Amino acid sequence: MRISYIFLITALALSTTISAANDPTIPKSFLGEWNADISQCGKGTDESFLLLEPHRVSFWESTGPVIAAFLRGNELALILELSGEGEVWLSATKFELSLDGSTLTSETIPGEEFVRYRCPTSASAP
């Protein structure tokens, strides 16, 4: 399973615009706070919490810099160096932004998708 996901990230990378290796940046349309339940926006306490900043990603219990960013249409693949609870690890995640920019579907494990909604106070809200 891990090999197929690495293949997915590699395939996406080969067919996309690649952020500069020394300055990987998340596109503006993806930036902001995202949660599975909009009532949790601004609290940072829900397990679905996700904050996308230009060069950093924060989840509920982990955070870290963007190592590489690959964009193809409304799909974004990120390689992150996350840390949390005394551990540091690399993570590959694929995000897909809905056409209206209101939902963000993430896939960290192949075939397992998770939908979050853009928080209304998000700086990049449409």
| Beta pairing partners, 106 | 95, 114
Calculate ∠ Cα 5-68-24, nearest 5°.
155
Cβ neighbours of residue 58 closer than 8 Å, sequence gap 6 or more: 49, 50, 51
For residue 110, the model assigns a pLDDT of 78
pLDDT tens string 73-93: 999 999 999 999 999 999 999
Q: What is the pTM of this model?
A: 0.79
Q: Are 30 and 76 in contact (CB under 8 A)?
A: yes
For residue 23, the model assigns a pLDDT of 72
For residue 63, the model assigns a pLDDT of 97
Separation CA 100–CA 66 (nearest Å) = 25
Low pLDDT (below 50) residues in the chain:
1-4, 7, 11, 15, 20, 123-126
Q: Where are the domains of the chain?
A: 2-118
| Eight-state DSSP code of residue 98 | -
